Amino acid sequence: MLKPKPLEEYRIKPHALFQLRRRQISEVALRHLLQSPDQIIEDRNGRYIYQSKMRFKDSGKEYLIRVVMDLTSDPAEVVTAYQTSNIKKYWR
């Protein structure tokens, strides 16, 4: 059984890189989230969701950034990432 932990080493899949750019989530924010997530939630098939609340400077609004990780790969892979204002739905 895999034990999720903060990540120093990971690879960003092409789809995830596209989604990060499209959703304007910086790689700096991604790195910070993966190294120090507020929560790690088990999803399915070796995937975990790393998530943290972040406040964006331009709007001042708080969002939940969620990053889907495949921990069965070596190194771990970023599958996709997105932000949502519906924090209550996902926060545990």
- pLDDT tens sequence across 32-86: 999 999 999 999 887 999 999 998 777 788 999 999 999 999 999 999 999 999 9
pLDDT over 60 (residue 2): no
The mean pLDDT value for 14-37 works out to 95
What b-and-e string marks burial along 46-83, b requiring 16 or more CB atoms within 10 Å of the CB? eebbbbbebeeeeeeeebbbbbbbbbeeeebbbbbbee
Does a structural domain hold residue 3? no
Q: What is the pTM of this model?
A: 0.89
pLDDT recorded at residue 46: 76
Q: How many domains does the chain have?
A: 1
Domain that holds residue 37: 10-90
pLDDT recorded at residue 76: 94
